[in-house]
């Protein structure tokens, strides 16, 4: 298979980006809606913040209202901070299935729009295991990843602060910081004591921290490229607790060529197959983190051979910088 190793930086007009993003969003929303409807799972994982936002609008304590009451997705408490519930409020009045489908469709369309500003190779994320798991579980990772490229989406980073901090480590702009600060201040203005109830729920939420796994220290090799936003993103992602498999979507911000994006996407599915074969879902983590590290290091080596500039990585421009 012949894959280009050159950055996919061909000009894509704003109109083309919008049309492609619209198609991606509609398709993702329809697929997600069918999965939710046929599966009878309300809005899947999005049900938790959706219920929390509805409780907030009703003047109730969402952390007391959203408690285990039945089978999934009513089997757990609320692990989202109050700023995340504020982001969810526009979807709260809608029925669960429609809310989940619309949320995932918008998230996917916005992610496609942001990625296309830096080349077509980024669209391969939609074939990756983390994205497809995010789609079927109606998760936040696509929107949080989009916020790295579209600073006006910065409040989405507060929904899952672990992933949000990793994004900010590499992609923070002044607009990101201002919008996040405003939403945090708004949340305290509405309910000053929300961190107490939120933090009380967190010990019940199990996560994985890549750096603490046996292979995790290898990721510290990315310190060689610490000046690059992609390397800082990888290092920060390695440090924060996260869920399997959807939380790793942001790693697809690292590839800058079709070849890199293709092999990272293929590796993600190898990880899924190994996880199923050995009944160990954690195998997905090295399958995506180590190839991402390899992309960074091999790019450094290539730059050194070509012009001696190990740190001249092709860093995508951000909208709003």
Q: Which of 135, 166, 136 is nearest to 254 (CA)?
A: 166
Residue pLDDT, tens place only, 4-54: 555 555 578 899 999 999 999 999 999 999 999 999 999 999 999 999 999
Give the span between the Cα atoms of 9 and 124, in whole angstroms. Answer: 15
Q: Which of 31, 275, 267 is nearest to 137 (CA)?
A: 31
Q: By three-state DSSP, how is residue 208 classified?
A: strand
Average of per-residue pLDDT across 115-133? 96
Q: Is the model's pLDDT at 313 over the cut of 50? A: no
Hey, which residues does 257 pair with through a beta bridge? 7
Whether residue 237 contacts residue 210, with contact meaning beta carbons closer than 8 Å, is answered with: yes
Q: Is the model's pLDDT at 305 over the cut of 80? A: no
**pLDDT score for 262:** 97
**pLDDT score for 205:** 72
**pLDDT score for 8:** 56
Token code pair at residue 43? 């809005």
Instruction: Give CB contacts under 8 A, 24+ apart, made by 196-200.
Output: 197/61, 197/63, 197/64, 198/63, 198/78, 198/79, 198/80, 198/81, 198/82, 200/63
Q: Is the model's pLDDT at 318 over the cut of 50? A: no
Token code pair at residue 271? 């990880």
Q: Which residues of 126-148 are buried (b: 16+ CB within 10 A; e: fewer)?
A: bebbbbbbbbbbbbbbbbbbbbb
Q: How confident is the model at residue 307 (pLDDT cuts 50, 70, 90)?
A: low
Give the span between the Cα atoms of 66 and 53, in whole angstroms. Answer: 10
Q: Is the model's pLDDT at 146 over the cut of 60? A: yes
Residue pLDDT, tens place only, 216-267: 999 999 998 888 999 999 999 999 999 888 999 999 999 999 999 999 999 9
Compute the C-alpha angle 107/141/283, nearest 5°: 145
Averaged pLDDT of the chain: 90
Could you say which DSSP state residue 242 is in? B
Largest Cα separation within the chain, whole Å, is 62
Q: Is the model's pLDDT at 320 over the cut of 50? A: no
Whether residue 32 contacts residue 142, with contact meaning beta carbons closer than 8 Å, is answered with: no
Q: How confident is the model at residue 308 (pLDDT cuts 50, 70, 90)?
A: low
Specify the range with the lowest mean pLDDT, choosing from 112-116, 162-166, 300-304. Answer: 300-304
Residue pLDDT, tens place only, 65-100: 999 999 999 999 999 999 999 999 999 999 999 999
**pLDDT score for 202:** 80
Residue pLDDT, tens place only, 169-200: 999 999 999 999 999 999 999 999 999 999 98
- Side-chain-facing half-sphere of 205: CA atoms under 13 Å: 17
Q: Is the model's pLDDT at 302 over the cut of 60? A: yes
């Amino acid at each position: 298979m012949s894959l280009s190793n050159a950055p996919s930086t061909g000009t894509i007009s704003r109109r083309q980006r919008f049309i492609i993003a619209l198609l991606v969003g509609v398709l993702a929303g329809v697929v997600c809606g069918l999965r939710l409807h046929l599966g009878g799972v309300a809005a899947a994982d999005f049900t938790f913040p959706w219920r929390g936002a509805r409780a907030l609008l009703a003047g109730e304590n969402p952390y007391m209202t959203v408690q285990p009451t039945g089978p999934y997705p009513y089997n757990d408490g609320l692990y989202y901070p109050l700023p995340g519930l504020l982001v969810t409020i526009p979807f709260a009045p809608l029925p669960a299935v429609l809310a989940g489908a619309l949320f995932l469709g918008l998230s996917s369309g916005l992610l496609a729009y942001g990625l296309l500003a830096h080349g077509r190779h980024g669209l391969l994320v939609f074939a990756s295991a983390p994205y497809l798991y995010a789609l079927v579980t109606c998760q936040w990772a696509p929107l949080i990843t989009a916020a790295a490229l579209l600073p006006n989406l910065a409040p989405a980073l507060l929904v899952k602060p672990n992933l949000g901090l990793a994004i900010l480590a590499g992609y923070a702009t002044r607009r990101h910081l201002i919008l996040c600060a405003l939403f945090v201040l708004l949340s305290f203005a509405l309910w000053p004591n929300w961190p107490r109830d939120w933090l009380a729920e967190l010990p019940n939420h199990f996560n994985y921290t890549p750096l603490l796994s046996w292979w995790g220290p290898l990721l510290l090799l990315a310190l060689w490229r610490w000046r690059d936003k992609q390397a800082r993103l990888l290092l920060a992602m390695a440090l924060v607790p996260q869920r399997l498999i959807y939380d790793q979507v942001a790693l697809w911000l690292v590839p800058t060529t079709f070849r890199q994006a293709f092999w990272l996407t293929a590796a993600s599915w190898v990880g899924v197959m190994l996880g199923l074969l050995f009944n160990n879902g954690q195998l997905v983590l090295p399958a995506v983190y180590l190839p991402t590290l390899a992309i960074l290091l091999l790019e450094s080596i290539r730059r050194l051979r070509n012009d001696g500039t190990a740190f001249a990585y092709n860093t995508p421009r951000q909208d709003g910088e």
